[in-house]
């Protein structure tokens, strides 16, 4: 599925949560990532969607900690970020 943000300059966190993050209740992140794409979007919209998916994809026990706190080196940090993004 492709979502176009043509003519849209801003979306709220509430919109992203309602429109996309709730998909995680029924699908794993990799399925959503493979089947959902965004076009004609802004940097702000892309960043917000990515940040929300990254946060919600983390185990709840890690959500309040930066990746750097539970990864021992830059290679692990990179692997964690690429897995989530």
Residue 69 structural domain: 2-84
Number of domains, the chain = 1
Query: pLDDT digits over 31-68, tens only?
Result: 998 999 999 999 999 999 988 888 887 766 666 666 55
What's the confidence (pLDDT) of residue 67? 55
* 23-47 per-residue burial string, b: 16 or more CB within 10 A, e: under 16: beeeeeeeebeeeeeeeebeeebee
């Amino acid at each position: 599925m492709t979502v176009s943000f043509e003519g849209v300059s801003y979306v709220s966190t509430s919109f992203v949560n309602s429109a996309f993050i709730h998909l995680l209740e029924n699908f794993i992140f990799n399925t959503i990532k493979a089947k959902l794409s965004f076009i004609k979007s802004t940097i702000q919209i892309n960043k917000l969607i990515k940040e929300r998916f990254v946060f919600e994809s983390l185990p709840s026990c890690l959500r309040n900690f930066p990746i750097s706190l539970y990864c021992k080196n830059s290679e692990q940090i990179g692997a964690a970020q690429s897995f989530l993004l």
